[in-house]
A and B are shown apart, each in its own frame.
Chain A
Amino acid sequence: MIDSLCDQAAGKDVAVVGLYCDFLAQQEQSTTNMLGAILKQLASRGGIPEHIREAFQKAKREFGGRGLRLPAVVEFLKKTTTSLERMFICIDALDELVPKHRRELLRSLQEIVCTSPNMRVLLTGRPHTDDEIVECFNTAVRIPVIPIQDDIRSYLEMRLEIDTTPKAMDDEFRAEIMRVIPEKISEM
């Protein structure tokens, strides 16, 4: 998704950023860190905005060097995106976040989307996250992703191509793999 959006965005004032949620990194994937990672991607694309630099210098002077807090990150994002024609945020595997972080992230996105009409958000996740998404974005559009037979076949072909012991398999067995697996998966 990110790469095809980037291809489209090339040469325009359009930013594409992405986040991956991960079961194994639940602790550090706080909403502040997630949204901060979006700002980082924007900064490495267009340079660090002056308002962020100033806030950093101010925070550094304060006792112990003040860490970033969620309301500040939300404000930074709102401010940074105004200079863009359009911005795409892709967040993968929302279901892998802890529920508390997921709710907070959705609420923050809701707040940002409200003030930034140039923002588009793409979320992926298991169906059970649907209710929480609808709570924040009641008109969100859903695309159910299901594996189609052609895709399964191309994937199998690729895997058989790189098989490390191709001699262990005759043509008949290969043909059976190509026939049975796509059938079984689409029955699921």
Chain B
Amino acid sequence: MLPGRQQVTGNINSFNSTINFISEVDAEGRQIMQWLSPLEPQQRHQGVRIDRLDSVGNWVLETNEFRKWRDTEDGRVEPVLFCCGDPGVGKTYLR
């Protein structure tokens, strides 16, 4: 075998092993994701995002309660905020 060819074969082998390594990591990554949870909340979020009218409910984001909860530094604010309301008032569709 010519030296040049040997080198090419060597490169291809290392390339293949890199590919194997990447797909192994990916396969494990997918298994870990599945192990953590079967739920996919991002899918529901896409649906909500499509149906939402962006201006509606913005007043909630402008309340002092919301701003304080979002912006105040750790330990100086109550960490839990509860937006409560009857069915259909638009809690899910707040932007």
Residue numbers of A with Cβ under 8 A of B are: 1-5, 8, 18-20, 22, 25, 28-29, 32-37, 39-41, 43-44, 48, 52-53, 56, 59-60, 67-68, 73, 86, 88, 92-93, 109, 113, 117-127, 129-130, 133, 137, 139-148, 151, 154-155, 158
Contacts and interface: CB of A to CB of B under 8 A. Distances in A.
B60 interface: yes
B39 interface: yes
A92 B92 contact: yes
Interface stretch (B5-13, B15-23, B72-80): B72-80
A124 B92 contact: yes
A109 B80 CA distance: 10
A68 B36 contact: yes
Nearest to B34: A40
A141 to B, nearest CB: 5
Contacts of B37: 32-37, 39-40
A88 B71 CA distance: 11
Contacts, number: 178
Interface in B78-95: 78-87, 89-92, 94-95
Contacts of B38: 28, 33
Interface in B36-84: 36-42, 44-45, 48-49, 53, 55-57, 59-61, 63, 65-66, 68-70, 74-75, 78-84
Contact of A36 (B36, B53, B61): B36
Nearest to B44: A20
A118 B73 CA distance: 8
Contacts of B82: 122-125, 130, 133, 140-143
A93 B44 CA distance: 13
A146 B57 CA distance: 9
A37 B91 contact: no
In the complex, the 4 A-B pairs of residues with the closest C-beta atoms, listed nearest first: A36-B37, A145-B85, A124-B91, A36-B36
B61 to A, nearest CB: 6
Contacts of B40: 37
Contacts of A130: 82, 84
Contacts of B94: 1, 124, 145
A148 B45 contact: no
Contacts of B31: 56, 60
Contact of B80 (A3, A53, A141): A141
